[in-house]
Amino acid sequence: MAADLNLFVDGLSPRELAGQLLVVGYGGLEPPPELCAALEAGERAGVILFRRNISAGLTGLAALQASLTRVARQCRPELRQLVAIDEEGVRVARLGAPALALPPMRRLAAAGELELIERVAFAVARELRCLGVTMNFAPVVDVDTNPDNPIIGDRAFSNEPGRVAECAAAYLRGLRAGGVASCLKHYPGHGDTLLDSHLALPTVAHDRGRLEAVELVPFRQLASAADSMMTAHVLYPALDPAHPATLSVTIATDLLRGQLGFRGVLFSDDLEMRAMDGLGGFGASAVAAVRAGCDLLLVCSRPDAQAEVHAALAAAIGADEAFASRCRGAARRALELRRAYAPCPGTCDDFVELERSLLAPLASELSRRLSA
């Protein structure tokens, strides 16, 4: 299998190879024809879903199932698409009823045992898989040590690094048992920032000793268990005074793979976020992120930004054999993940049965235990 994958990746054109590093979002309830054509041509690795892509109720979930099934059938079998979503709970949840209504992870960690966290993650994975989603960008493993943090808060399990790690380990077990890939975010830690990286570039000014004792603990403990991680668009001067984590070889390669021992797929956070403003534009940031160590890049909204990133990567691949080799390594790693978690959408009847047998009973139990 490894030899076959190597030969396959080696045979990709620069445009195809560039596409294997790019996961994109879209507007509306149906992927636009241009995106479907790009997926079919092997010039996109997959899609990320948001609330804007899913209409309300069972009818909306059935429409999503049907849409993802159509797109999956258009993709080449050897280039199975990644279908990702952020289904964390409350503030960051894309699905509505009859999908499971998730509490904040902080509440779940405080009120439940690890076994309950694992069951919740399993239920989330089962419903996502039934819909045709292959990856959940969860769990958040930031250690929420700053009460003024505008973006993490109760998305985090705890302000104690050990508790974050054990809760996240349970969540990872549940997702894997349910057949959906996991992602630890936001590496190397977004829990002690005063700015939202969607809006500006935050800085975590702690020294290396503090980062090792707090922020890095969950990532280090879970490096061998996670399918993927996502970088933070955050500056850590003690690690790299010049580059945010997404663009830092020191953080995204030397520390992550050399010292933490991570072997999975590394995603960038959305390259459209304002934290990346002033860093050279979408194309330059994309090339820099891949050079730093990112394997898959998120560009979540703008078709023009997606096209710019794709063109910049393809041009760099054609001009620089060292960069092309780096991209082939990233594509192999990402394709291994995509093949391990291939889309397997169900039907509306499947979801109704899942809701009856698993989701509704668990929702009732959660309501009872969280109100106790």
Q: Which residues contact 270 (CB under 8 A, 6 or more apart)?
A: 298, 299, 300, 301
Q: Within 13 Å, how many C-alpha atoms sit on residue 246's CB side?
A: 32
Q: What is the CATH number of the domain that holds 74?
A: 3.20.20.300
C-alpha span between 99 and 355 (Å, rounded): 7
Look at residue 370 and tell me if it is in a domain: no
Distance of CA 334 to the CA centre of its chain: 12
- For 45, the token pair is 């690795």
Q: What is the DSSP pairing of strand 235-236 with strand 240-244?
A: antiparallel
Helix (H, G, I), strand (E, B) or coil at 207: coil
Element (DSSP H or E) covering residue 184: strand 184-187
Number of separate domains in the chain = 1
The tens digit of pLDDT for each residue in 274-312 reads: 989 877 899 999 999 999 999 999 999 999 999 999 999
Active-site annotation holder among 198, 277, 320, 350:
198
Lowest mean pLDDT among 118-127, 198-207, 209-218, 271-280: 271-280
Report the pLDDT averaged over residues 321-342: 96
Contact 253, 207 (CB under 8 A): no
Active-site annotation holder among 86, 240, 269, 295:
269
Look at residue 100 and tell me if it is in a domain: yes
Q: What pLDDT is stored for residue 345 in this prediction?
A: 81
C-alpha span between 257 and 220 (Å, rounded): 10
The tens digit of pLDDT for each residue in 77-94 reads: 888 899 999 999 888 999
- For 52, the token pair is 């804007």
Q: Supply the mean pLDDT for the chain.
A: 94
**Helix/strand/coil (H/E/C) assignment for every residue in 287-298:** HHHHHHCCCEEE
Look at residue 372 and tell me if it is in a domain: no
Look at residue 336 and tell me if it is in a domain: yes
Look at residue 371 and tell me if it is in a domain: no
The tens digit of pLDDT for each residue in 54-74 reads: 998 999 999 999 988 888 888
- For 32, the token pair is 């636009």
The tens digit of pLDDT for each residue in 260-284 reads: 999 999 999 999 999 898 778 999 9
Q: Which residue has the tokens 């159509």?
A: 70
Look at residue 235 and tell me if it is in a domain: yes
Q: Which residues contact 314 (CB under 8 A, 6 or more apart)?
A: 14, 15, 17, 18
Look at residue 369 and tell me if it is in a domain: no
Q: Which residues contact 223 (CB under 8 A, 6 or more apart)?
A: 256, 260, 261, 262, 263
Q: Percentage of the chain with pLDDT > 90?
A: 84
Q: Give residue 126's domain range.
A: 2-364
Q: What pLDDT is stored for residue 3 in this prediction?
A: 67
Check if 4 is active-site: no
Cα–Cα distance list, 123 to 104, 113, 139, 225 (Å) = 15, 16, 14, 19
User: Which residue type does 328 have?
Assistant: R
Contact 171, 225 (CB under 8 A): no
C-alpha span between 287 and 28 (Å, rounded): 28
DSSP states of 92-114 as a string?
Answer: B----TTS--PPPHHHHHHHS-H
Check if 186 is active-site: no
The tens digit of pLDDT for each residue in 107-144 reads: 999 987 999 999 999 999 999 999 999 999 999 999 99
Q: What pLDDT is stored for residue 50 in this prediction?
A: 96
Q: What pLDDT is stored for residue 259 in this prediction?
A: 97
